């Protein structure tokens, strides 16, 4: 979220279960103002917080020209002093999924995550999978950079029309954006990933009849797999919309309908919910089972002509319905 709107967003985040004190919001606002002036950013944003055992990591970013490709990230453990967050390295991308422990809160802390959670079968040569010298220790600062980059690619979103792609290729914030109305806000196609597109441009072109490349150049979240990995809620008599990422618990997007006020915030432990595909699949299975039971109850009820159904007829129907369901 933009740092100038931190105080205005305290009440909004309360509806998402995120509690931030007014004092700390004012502290962040002042420190991010200094960060913006020192680095000559056009705008500066508070990205969120990753919880640690000893201390928490506060993340912020800003940009000078391009709001998507020109983002520069910083981290702080007190909300006052900001340090440059390094780029995610290749070895960190390899070791970060193996790290199962919580963040310690010490950037220089290193952990041997390879031996504690081996990624390869013990009886096979690791060079068959990784053709470089295999690293074993992961520095927490590099792990933090990798987690922030991964969450940004998976769960950072904007509303359709929030960004505008210029003819020279630069991506800027759309000053003409006036917000989404209720029909558009209720559709997942109206929300885009705030990262370089991974789908082909014609995939996004065929997704909606009123396609405009200047605003629809990003991937929509309705194509995310599995289906149901986003939770959409309408609050305040459909004047506020909140989206939760179920893959990354703690990532929250909010938007005041018919206004240009929107943003996202992450508050969590930096762990991805890898069980989500099984959770969504079980939910769909239970829904289908309930639909089948409701259909059977309706078909077993008394017909509209007033006639009755005998016990033999019900038994015959149930056996036939069960056979048809198993065949499907």
Distance in angstroms (rounded) separating the CA atoms of residues 240 and 159? 13
Residue ranges per structural domain of the chain: 157-284
Residues in the chain: 328
Residue 194: half-sphere exposure toward Cβ, Cα within 13 Å: 25
Distance in angstroms (rounded) separating the CA atoms of residues 117 and 121? 11
- Cβ contacts of 60 within 8 Å, gap of 6 or more: 3, 32, 35, 44, 45, 46, 47, 73, 74, 75, 76, 82
pTM: 0.83
- Of residues 253, 32, 245, the one with CA closest to residue 162: 253
Per-residue pLDDT of the chain (328 residues; tens, 9 = 90+): 899 999 888 888 888 888 888 899 999 999 999 999 999 999 999 999 999 999 999 999 999 999 999 999 999 999 999 999 999 999 999 999 999 999 999 999 999 999 888 888 878 777 777 777 888 999 999 999 999 999 999 999 999 999 999 999 999 999 999 999 999 999 999 999 999 999 887 777 777 788 888 999 999 999 999 999 999 999 988 899 999 999 999 999 999 999 999 999 999 999 999 999 999 865 544 444 444 445 445 544 444 444 444 444 444 444 444 444 444 4
């Amino acid at each position: 979220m933009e740092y100038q709107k931190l105080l205005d967003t305290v009440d909004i985040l309360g509806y998402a279960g995120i509690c931030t004190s007014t004092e700390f919001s004012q502290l962040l606002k002042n420190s991010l103002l200094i960060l913006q002036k020192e680095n000559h950013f056009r705008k500066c944003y508070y990205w969120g917080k990753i919880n640690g055992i000893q201390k928490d990591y506060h993340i912020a970013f800003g940009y000078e020209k391009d709001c998507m490709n020109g983002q520069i990230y910083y981290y702080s453990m007190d909300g006052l002093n900001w340090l440059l967050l390094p780029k995610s390295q290749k070895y960190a991308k390899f070791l970060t999924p193996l790290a199962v422990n919580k963040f310690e809160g010490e950037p220089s802390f290193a952990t041997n995550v390879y031996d504690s959670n081996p990624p390869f079968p013990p009886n096979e040569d690791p060079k068959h999978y990784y053709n470089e010298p295999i690293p074993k220790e992961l520095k927490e600062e590099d792990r933090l950079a990798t987690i922030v980059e991964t969450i940004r690619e998976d769960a950072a979103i904007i509303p359709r029309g929030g960004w505008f792609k210029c003819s020279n290729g630069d991506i800027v914030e759309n000053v003409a954006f006036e917000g989404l109305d209720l029909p558009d806000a209720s559709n997942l196609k109206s929300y885009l990933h705030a990262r370089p597109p991974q789908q082909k441009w014609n995939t996004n072109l065929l997704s909606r009849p009123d396609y405009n490349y200047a605003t629809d150049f990003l991937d929509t979240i309705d194509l995310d797999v599995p289906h149901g990995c986003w939770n959409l809620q309408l609050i305040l008599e459909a004047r506020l919309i909140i989206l939760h990422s179920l893959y990354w618990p703690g990532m929250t997007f909010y938007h005041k309908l018919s206004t240009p006020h929107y943003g996202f915030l992450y508050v969590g432990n930096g762990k991805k919910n890898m069980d989500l595909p099984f959770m969504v699949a079980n939910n769909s299975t239970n829904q289908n089972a309930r639909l089948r039971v409701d259909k059977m109850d309706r078909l077993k009820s008394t017909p509209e002509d007033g006639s009755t159904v005998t016990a033999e007829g019900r038994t015959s129907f149930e056996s036939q319905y069960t056979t048809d369901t198993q065949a499907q």
